[in-house]
Amino acid sequence: MLDTTPLIQAVDRFADRLRAAPQSRLQRGAAAEALTAARELADRAQRLENPGAAPRELPDAGVFAVGDQLAVAGRDLAVALETAPSQELDEAVRYVGEAAARALG
């Protein structure tokens, strides 16, 4: 079984930074970038769990909920990746880091 701790840690760091960010920063694009990332993580998890089925889109629950949405989507992906090839985990960790940099600098 694959150790998904690096993904969980990366997602938790990003989510914590979002939760601590001021409303103005979230509204200037950080929340939108984070929602895009959460949706991507959710899509990846769904594709692994239900190959061939169309992923359902994560709804926009607002700028103050996006940190929680990201955390949940990231943990769902971590569970789905436990039996996936390690390169998929490495790619997910890299993606989260890049999304955090785009969202929060």
| Span 18-65, pLDDT tens digits | 999 999 999 999 999 999 999 999 999 999 999 999 999 999 999 999
User: In the prediction, which pLDDT does 86 show?
Assistant: 85
Tokens 């998929």, residue located: 88
The verdict on pTM exceeding 0.85 is yes
Domain layout of the chain by residue ranges: 5-104
Q: What sign results for the dihedral spanned by CA atoms 25, 35, 94, 68?
A: positive
3 state DSSP class of 58: coil
Q: What is the DSSP letter of 53?
A: S
Work out the number of other CB atoms within 10 angstroms of the CB of residue 2: 14
